[in-house]
Structure 1
């Protein structure tokens, strides 16, 4: 649960980092062309232009007044005449200053209006997009501002959010449809069996009860797997993390599955390096490896399955590799989706064991809940390979 919270905090930190400073951009350029810097430069430039315009017009008016009221050398003015000239000059300079202030105010208003229009247009689009999103519309995409600033980052984050919500809603619809389908199949079988017994078309013998019991087990496993997957993905799964010998666990797993593997023509081979100790919950790790081995036995061609344990630069890796046909190109990316099966018709293995279609999804969720990773790939020499990477004990 603590590891789940740490992952959530890391995702939040990454999201805030994207909003505050565009990934891949030099920090100096962000300071230079950021929205805050643009606003500061624009208003500083507007104030500077206003001061220059006001000062220039005032000084120009003063010079005109001085030139106009400069007395001739032969003219003798009385004190009253000088007072009148000074008053008239003062009124003229004041009028020029007022005109300069009015023009500067109009200029500042126009510049501020243009700047605020550029700034508020993306914000209004975001408000409109948020309203459409709240009204239930999905797939809302807003035009991205051309400048690399906070508004662009915010718009990109909004578009990513709406795209993610659209994908999640489509995933939920698909999940509900898949659950309904997987529940409907065993229920339909049970209904037909019971109705046939009620109509006397089929005896209620041990074989019929065995078939019904098998369908009940399938339903129970489906519900159990769904609950386990929900707990693991929600970080509410109780774990008892300790040092686990990875090689010993693989040998125990191979011995447990030896008989079943032999029934389908598969030989399980273990190749474990010495002293490969991982930090994990032994029960959950065993369940993860069992799901991977179940998948290999169900879909792999007859041959052998290799279980390996070795150290890596990041920790320790436990791998399960089969020698079957491997993943199709479109199947590899969907390997860990809930209810996804590469071959939809193969819902059971040759021995009739039921499959809920959640094994790989549960394996990944359990691995991530223990602080590890689970990856799938097509091995270069053929076959599918799953790698569980966990911290070293």
Structure 2
């Protein structure tokens, strides 16, 4: 049977609490018993030493000292340990069994005894011989004595403390285990929902510890997966739509041509060819994105002058720009550092951006292709990395703020009224970003509605120090 983490935490705290309380209880009882017994013994012996000192001062010898002692302690009515009085020669002048008078006292008892001093002169010793109690413990106080009563009370208090400590440990273990396992349970439920295909569920954990970081990572992962699934579904629908439209057109012409109800003509064949070309472009775009996503987009980089790259693109669109009444210009220095790029792929990027700029720049507007090599950054010991930037700016209608964060998404069109007119597939800017990133670069956009747009491409340039 599998135990939950809460049960394991609770049992662990309970075990630690019991072991700790027992250890403290045993050590405290033993040390307290020893200390208390020694304290009581020292107090009683001090009293007896004072009586014996007074006796010697009065009599000048130990003769008749046995008259001071009975079987009861001079200061209490409780039984006491056997004591003996020893003179300076080590002879017992008074003793209680097992200490017998007129015998030599054991040296160890004299060494541990109390000195009796009269007028700065050593006159004898008080020795104590503690017998075994009924339990066989030489250090234990006599049964029913005040010492034993005190120690029993202490033991009861220790056992009560043990019970309280165990209860507190159990309660704290339960509360702490619940607080620790609550976010884990929430994450477990969320992962189970994810396993069932319910993406997008967020775990609400407000702690700032490792579990909180784990929850944030899970929420981000779940959000990204949900967004990826939604994008894939939307892409599938868009691809299906873009494929269905030309196929519908082709079927609409080929069926009557097959039945003989429609006669072929150059215009008809031209329309059919345009639809086939559109299908081919769509398939090529999808393949490019697929290769870029898997990191397998083939690149043949070589050093090229950025200005030459921009002029090549501008030349390709110069005629179309003149027909549209738009000025197309290149503004770049002649001494820019060369960049290592796949010329065909980077030309594809620039052509896509210029094509979009021409589409949204009105007559009398201006499109500028620019380059700059002043971006710098330190990225290593033997090399530094400098960025060259390529820009395509226009004075067109601009992009609404709400669309800026989506323009690089696949099949996203800022102009909702424009579908596939002009052969566009809605994948152009997604391909642009994929190609730029495949070169290790970045692309960004700045735009305001009715105030034009600027696309900026940053390509790293490595230079040996």
Give TM-score scaled by structure 2 length.
0.66
Single out whichever of 76-85 and 183-192 deviates more from structure 2. 76-85
1:331 equivalent in alignment to 2:403: yes
3-state DSSP of counterpart to 1:275: coil
Paired residues of 1:54 and 1:104 also in contact (CA < 8 A): no
Deviation at 1:286, TM superposition (A): 1.1
**2:314 matched residue in structure 1:** 254
3-state DSSP of counterpart to 2:375: coil
- Unaligned 5+ runs, structure 1: 1-41
**1:209 matched residue in structure 2:** 269
1:152 equivalent in alignment to 2:221: no
Residues 266-293 of structure 1, C-alpha deviations (whole Å, 9 max, x = no match): 2211111122222322221111111111
Paired residues of 1:122 and 1:145 also in contact (CA < 8 A): no
Residues 105-156 of structure 1, C-alpha deviations (whole Å, 9 max, x = no match): 554444333333322222222222212211211222222143x210111111
Deviation at 1:348, TM superposition (A): 6.0
3-state DSSP of counterpart to 1:374: strand
1:280 equivalent in alignment to 2:280: no
1:119 aligned to which of 162, 180, 183:
180
**2:429 matched residue in structure 1:** 360
**1:235 matched residue in structure 2:** 295
Trace 1:87-102 onto structure 2 (pairs within 5 A). 87=137, 96=155, 99=159
Single out whichever of 241-250 and 136-145 deviates more from structure 2. 136-145
**2:372 matched residue in structure 1:** 310
3-state DSSP of counterpart to 1:392: strand
Structure number, greater radius of gyration: 2
Trace 1:259-270 onto structure 2 (pairs within 5 A). 259-270=319-330
**2:204 matched residue in structure 1:** 143
2:412 aligned to which of 322, 336, 340:
340
Paired residues of 1:145 and 1:151 also in contact (CA < 8 A): no
Residues 17-63 of structure 1, C-alpha deviations (whole Å, 9 max, x = no match): xxxxxxxxxxxxxxxxxxxxxxxxx99x9799746666556656667
1:369 equivalent in alignment to 2:438: yes
Structure 1 residues 187, 81: CA separation in 2 closer, same or farther (over 3 Å shift)?
Answer: same
Instruction: Supply the distance in 2 between the matched residues of 1:103 and 1:66 (Cα, whole angstroms).
Output: 30
1:218 equivalent in alignment to 2:278: yes
Paired residues of 1:46 and 1:111 also in contact (CA < 8 A): no
Structure 1 residues 256, 131: CA separation in 2 closer, same or farther (over 3 Å shift)?
Answer: same
Deviation at 1:158, TM superposition (A): 1.1
3-state DSSP of counterpart to 1:84: coil
Deviation at 1:204, TM superposition (A): 1.0
Instruction: Supply the distance in 2 between the matched residues of 1:374 and 1:318 (Cα, whole angstroms).
Output: 9
Instruction: Supply the distance in 2 between the matched residues of 1:90 and 1:331 (Cα, whole angstroms).
Output: 94
Higher strand share: 2
Instruction: Supply the distance in 1 between the matched residues of 2:25 and 2:334 (Cα, whole angstroms).
Output: 83
Instruction: Supply the distance in 2 between the matched residues of 1:90 and 1:211 (Cα, whole angstroms).
Output: 119
Structure 1 vs Structure 2 CA RMSD: 3.5
3-state DSSP of counterpart to 1:337: coil
Structure 1 residues 206, 102: CA separation in 2 closer, same or farther (over 3 Å shift)?
Answer: same
Single out whichever of 354-363 and 257-266 deviates more from structure 2. 257-266
Deviation at 1:240, TM superposition (A): 2.3
Instruction: Supply the distance in 2 between the matched residues of 1:178 and 1:298 (Cα, whole angstroms).
Output: 22
Instruction: Supply the distance in 2 between the matched residues of 1:324 and 1:90 (Cα, whole angstroms).
Output: 107
Deviation at 1:89, TM superposition (A): 5.2
Deviation at 1:377, TM superposition (A): 1.3
Paired residues of 1:319 and 1:388 also in contact (CA < 8 A): yes
Paired residues of 1:244 and 1:279 also in contact (CA < 8 A): yes
Trace 1:77-96 onto structure 2 (pairs within 5 A). 82-84=132-134, 87=137, 96=155
Give TM-score scaled by structure 1 length.
0.77
**1:385 matched residue in structure 2:** 454
Give aligned pairs, total.
Answer: 347
- Unaligned 5+ runs, structure 2: 1-12, 45-71, 82-96, 99-129, 377-386
